[in-house]
Amino acid sequence: MKNIFKSLGIEITDSNNGLLTTLLIINNPDGTPRWICNANSKKALFLKFYSIGKFKSMLFALIIRMVFLFRLQKLVFKTKKLYLKNNSFNKTVVDFSDINWAIFTGTVGPNNKIITYKENNGKGKFYKVAYSPIGLSLIKNEEFIINKLGFIAPENFVVPKCKREVNNILELDDLSSFGGRNLVFSKTHELVLSEIYKKSKEELRIDLLPVIHATKKKLIDLERIKDKRIPIGMLKKLSKIYNTIDRRTISVTLAHGDFTPWNIYANDEKLAIYDWELAQTLIPVGFDAFHFIIQQNILVNRKSWKEISQEIKSKITPELFAKWSSENSKVDEYLQLYLLINTVSYLHIYARQLKWHEQVYWQLDTWNHAISESLKGQQLHRPMIIADIFDYLQHREYAGIKFPNGSPENLSEYSDIDLCIKKEDLSGILKYLQQHPLCIQTHVIKKSFMASVQLFFKDKTLLSIDLVWSFKRKSITMLDANQVIENAYVNKHHIKQMELLDMVRYIGLFYGLNDTIIPSKFKAYQQLLENGKVALDEVLYCNYIDNTIRKKELVKCLSSKPENSLVNRTLSTFNYYMDTVKQLVFSKGLVITFSGVDGAGKSTVIENVKYEIEKRLRKPVKILRHRPSLLPILSAWVKGKVKAEQDAANRLPRKGTNKNFISSFLRFSYYYTDYLFGQFYVYFKYTCRGHIVLYDRYYFDFINDSKRSNIQLPKQIIKAGYHLLLKPDLNFFLYADSEVILKRKKELDAKTISVLNEEYLDLFKTLRNSEKDHYTAINNIELKDTLNLIMYDTITKVA
């Protein structure tokens, strides 16, 4: 309090030298003074510093005014009596003997200034008082910009008159009588910015702009100071954007710098714009428009970046931007420049603040989403989103489970993320993930102790995350999750890792309680348990060193803990069965078929697809040959199943001699029965339980190549049977030229290969036009290209 008044040329003194003044003090959430005024004032003048726009702020202002109307302010607010006197060495801003004044202590940070308001005869003035070199440079800049604006003769907006009689004090007119607050970017805002751009626009090379050089310097500072509060993934992305800056020419102009509803009054025709201290020249066009929409929606409307970006697209159209800039509607490029300049600028400010208010975190989360979306065409989505997730978690309590000791964005595409979290943080994490602009779909299965999340991204990459708040195996609690989080440490990549002893215990318990030997790659950790202080460590140590499984001993050690009491275990058992039911109900399986002549590469493709699905989609895979096989092949009734399958595998295709219609019809009826009833068996046993079923050949072989199954029937009869079958989710026909196929396999002649290829292509074309399901023909030359196409379609279908 003493320093606040000292900056205003007022001293707090004793009763002999000062005038007794009763002050009204409204504090910030941290208990520091925010607004100060004379307690005897009949007006709530401190509301001059408060932006009134939405219903909540209007209601607050109304209540405050009612309090002052009925003279209840001394009962409602904190008061303090002080003896004050003017400091003879400094100009006094406030006449404390008067009652019509108010003080705002300013926004926390290096740009902080004290702002006072005083009223004489119904007319008010604001006074910005700088008490630091940065604050002084800001009020000098504001005076310079306001005077500069006078020369361009604004037609659609007004600015306050200003006067600086003392070096560190800037006097400004009160513009509040001009109009009200407009919280939406309107046609009036558009007109004002169009006027400013028209009167101040220049075309300059981007790499020569002062603001770009200043941004680079700030980026270097941020990387040097290593403030652990600054998201490391965000800094990497900002550096990536900066490094794409080239020598192209862009449109630059004067920018207000903080063009927001709380710095503007509006009427039907014009705007009154104040607080020009952050204004700069030679700033990329559109900066103020982007800033208005983004800041209002982050700080007031609390919208996600997905919603904000839609508003930007609707308000700042390519047609409008073409009028503002001299380029062809490159809105996204200018938005990316705004995100670079604005984010780096604010991070540089926040790095110098000891304490951050909640709104800082709101902005960081939204800016991170926005920056990632701006880079969507330049980087893979999965690594960016992984970095964003850990940036979001940076200020929250968690522990990475078995997370590799490296940069999170370098995580293998086949690796998942397992995190121990606080259960109360789950909804916030899920909301953050679901609102990510690069995420097109989120699948969440919530269990009693964890949530399994699958994220599907716009570039058809994906990520699986397990969020664990209780370490359980069926009815047994293995570890105390809260203790695991408390023990976690932060590694050099800013990841909070599970403490090593906790991780070793978790690995031993996980495999031991699942009746599985601990994999050799974890054996190196056994020495941490060698001198264990608890019985559990002794049992785990034996499991590590001699490849044994002592499940009963592990359960006995864990049963003595309170969380594994009889009541808790009974409840956990019930939850386990409920979790199992949820897994069955919410798991989504698929049926995928692969067709093609021998040598088309089906087996190789299927094995690779199986691996990709198991590693990336984390779904079990079942491979079926040709049909459901509920019924054995016909020869099995004579030779036995094993011998019949061996003979079939050794026999070359299309060598059957059957030409009898009745024999063929009976044979087809037998296999069709297998398809008809077996499809339900496959559905309930595999698809309903979340399995991906891969068919190596399918019913299409009967239609196009019935000779392979020793059947000779008209194609239309066999084709008609397809209408009664459940349609697979995805169908792929793999083909290649006969020359290529004969190099792989010499089981068919070139003519047969060409004929079969044509018939399959015709069939898939017909089905694609008549069925709503997916039928794709792939020229299988490059395995990588084939797999990319198949996995793209598979991920799309699962999502």
Higher-scoring residue by pLDDT: 86, 197: 197
pLDDT of 281 > 80? The answer is yes
Q: Are residues 673 and 636 in the same domain?
A: yes
Domain end, chosen from 174, 206, 241, is at 174
Q: pLDDT, tens digit, for every residue of 212-263? A: 999 999 999 999 998 999 999 999 999 999 999 999 999 999 999 999 999 9
Given this model, what pLDDT does residue 60 score? Answer: 92
Q: pLDDT, tens digit, for every residue of 575-588? A: 999 988 887 777 78
Given this model, what pLDDT does residue 637 score? Answer: 65
As a whole number, mean pLDDT of residues 587-603 equals 91
Given this model, what pLDDT does residue 762 score? Answer: 94
Given this model, what pLDDT does residue 109 score? Answer: 77
Q: Are residues 423 and 564 in the same domain?
A: yes
Q: Is residue 564 part of a domain?
A: yes
Tokens of 28: 């910030």
Q: What gap in Å lies between CA 203 and CA 50, rounded to an integer? A: 38
Higher-scoring residue by pLDDT: 279, 110: 279
Domain that holds residue 652: 587-798
As a whole number, mean pLDDT of residues 373-399 equals 95
Domain end, chosen from 127, 149, 174, is at 174
Q: Are residues 509 and 470 in the same domain?
A: yes
- Pick from 5-19, 77-91, 302-316 the range whose average pLDDT is largest: 302-316
Q: Are residues 227 and 338 in the same domain?
A: yes
Given this model, what pLDDT does residue 748 score? Answer: 84
As a whole number, mean pLDDT of residues 722-729 equals 92
Q: Quick check: 300 and 54 in contact, CB under 8 A?
A: yes
Given this model, what pLDDT does residue 745 score? Answer: 83
Given this model, what pLDDT does residue 93 score? Answer: 82
The pTM of this model reads: 0.85
Q: Is residue 388 part of a domain?
A: no
Helices (H), 22-132: 55-69, 73-76
C-alpha torsion sign, points 742, 748, 752, 753: negative
As a whole number, mean pLDDT of residues 713-738 equals 92
Q: Are residues 550 and 625 in the same domain?
A: no
Q: pLDDT, tens digit, for every residue of 187-207? A: 999 999 999 999 999 999 999
- Pick from 272-281, 321-330, 523-532 the range whose average pLDDT is largest: 272-281
pLDDT of 361 > 60? The answer is yes
pLDDT of 165 > 90? The answer is no
Q: What average pLDDT does the structure give for the chain?
A: 91
Q: How many domains are contained in the chain?
A: 4
Q: Are residues 186 and 43 in the same domain?
A: no
Residue 690 is part of a domain; what is its CATH number? 3.40.50.300
Compute CA distances 82 → 39, 71, 328, 651, 795, whole Å: 12, 21, 63, 105, 70
Given this model, what pLDDT does residue 705 score? Answer: 84
Q: Is residue 310 part of a domain?
A: yes
Given this model, what pLDDT does residue 548 score? Answer: 80
DSSP state of 461: -
Q: Is residue 391 part of a domain?
A: no
Instruction: Find how far residue 19's CA is from the centre of its chain.
Output: 57
Taking the alpha carbons at both ends of the chain, their separation in whole angstroms is 58
Q: What gap in Å lies between CA 59 and CA 680, rounded to an integer? A: 62
Q: pLDDT, tens digit, for every residue of 624-646? A: 998 898 887 766 666 666 665 56
Q: What gap in Å lies between CA 356 and CA 230, rounded to an integer? A: 11
Q: Is residue 88 part of a domain?
A: yes
Q: Are residues 490 and 603 in the same domain?
A: no
Could you please report the per-residue DSSP string of 382-448?
Answer: HHHHHHHHHHHHTTS-EEESS--SS-GGG--TT--EEEEE-GGGHHHHHHHHHT-TTEEEEEEEE-S
Helix (H) / strand (E) element for 144: namely helix 133-151
Domain end, chosen from 379, 409, 433, is at 379
Q: Are residues 593 and 558 in the same domain?
A: no
Q: Are residues 113 and 163 in the same domain?
A: yes
Given this model, what pLDDT does residue 586 score? Answer: 75
Q: pLDDT, tens digit, for every residue of 444-501? A: 999 999 999 999 999 989 999 999 999 999 999 999 999 999 999 999 999 999 999 9
Q: Are residues 473 and 562 in the same domain?
A: yes
